[in-house]
Amino acid sequence: MRVTFATQPASPDRPNEDFIAATPDAVVLLDGAGTPAGSESGCSHGVAWYARTLGSKLIASLTQSAGSLTEILAEGIKATTSLHDFTCDVNHPGSPSATVVMLRRTGDDLEYLVLADSVLVLDVIGVDEPMVITDDREGQVGKRYRTAMDALGSGTPDHTAALREYVEAMRAHRNRDGGFWVASSDPLAAEQALTGAVPADQIRAAALLSDGASRPVDRFHLATWRQVLDILAQHGPSELIRQVRDAEHSDPAGKRWPRGKAFDDASAALASPLQPLQ
Ligand SMILES: [Zn+2]
């Protein structure tokens, strides 16, 4: 595959809690779920460490293992948990977690796995409307709790407190039936991921997006998935992130688009299974 990607933290003085990596045959993208200021997590390593460590294990396994993507993710969660279960309280409800998107070319197929609210967009040859794969269970649960936060302007102390309350309320629904599933310390979460395979020769390109990079479509409603695919193909992932930042800067207080984070870590990759002939 031909793969291009870019990732950028929400601000230069904070660690990037997204992780992205690729080989010629595989791409992984993770979006670590933040621990808001003043919130406990039971872990001394932090969210960026979790996303980086699990992501590194996944990309390594994808080059070495013929196992299913679900098995590779379950093994990765188990291995990452074993790196800190003797120093940290990995059963803490706020233990670091991450969304996961995995893409692998095997022979004639393109296999995918999507866990939680990062987005995979497949540009299917001969079809106008892209195929969009994302798990919105977290968003559905979140609707019950986000009214107070959304009513307050971003960047105010009240909003920071409301975000903390929102995240802590959501913890009660994390990795539970009827709630939502993310990669954290329970390998069983892998079985909740959306998975599938498509013939590689029917896919012009696949876009992997953290929710910081899918905002122009699913939160700001400034672009369609088709337009995002075109930006990625014609101008590259950095241009998509630049456009996200422009939109965020145009509404720093979250008045037009209420949101938990005024600025978010943003990551985008474009993988094209068909190599252009030289
Ligand atoms: Zn830890």
Distance 95 CA to ligand 1 centre (A): 8
Q: What is the pLDDT of residues 59-93, one digit of tens each?
A: 999 999 999 999 999 999 999 999 999 999 999 98
Distance 50 CA to ligand 1 centre (A): 8
Distance 168 CA to ligand 1 centre (A): 18
Q: Are 260 and 169 in contact (CB under 8 A)?
A: no
Q: What is the pLDDT of residues 202-247, one digit of tens each?
A: 999 999 999 999 999 999 999 999 999 999 999 999 999 999 999 9
Distance 71 CA to ligand 1 centre (A): 23
Q: Which residue has the tokens 């990596």?
A: 21
Q: Can you tell me the distance from the alpha carbon of 202 to that of 80, in angstroms, rounded to the nearest whole number?
A: 35
Burial 49-66 (b: 16+ CB within 10 A, else e): bbbbbbbbbbbbbbeeee
Q: What is the mean pLDDT of the chain?
A: 93
Q: Can you tell me the distance from the alpha carbon of 153 to that of 7, in angstroms, rounded to the nearest whole number?
A: 26
Greatest distance between any 2 Cα atoms in the chain: 57
Distance 45 CA to ligand 1 centre (A): 4
Residue 234 pLDDT = 97
Distance (Å) of CA 142 to CA 41, 42, 114, 147 = 19, 23, 19, 9
Indicate whether 275 pLDDT > 90: no
Please report which confidence band the pLDDT of residue 159 belongs to, taking 50, 70 and 90 as the band edges: confident
Distance 125 CA to ligand 1 centre (A): 44
Distance 83 CA to ligand 1 centre (A): 8
Give pTM, 2 decimals. 0.94
Indicate whether 26 pLDDT > 70: yes
CA atoms within 13 A on the CB side of 36: 17
Distance 22 CA to ligand 1 centre (A): 25
Distance 119 CA to ligand 1 centre (A): 27
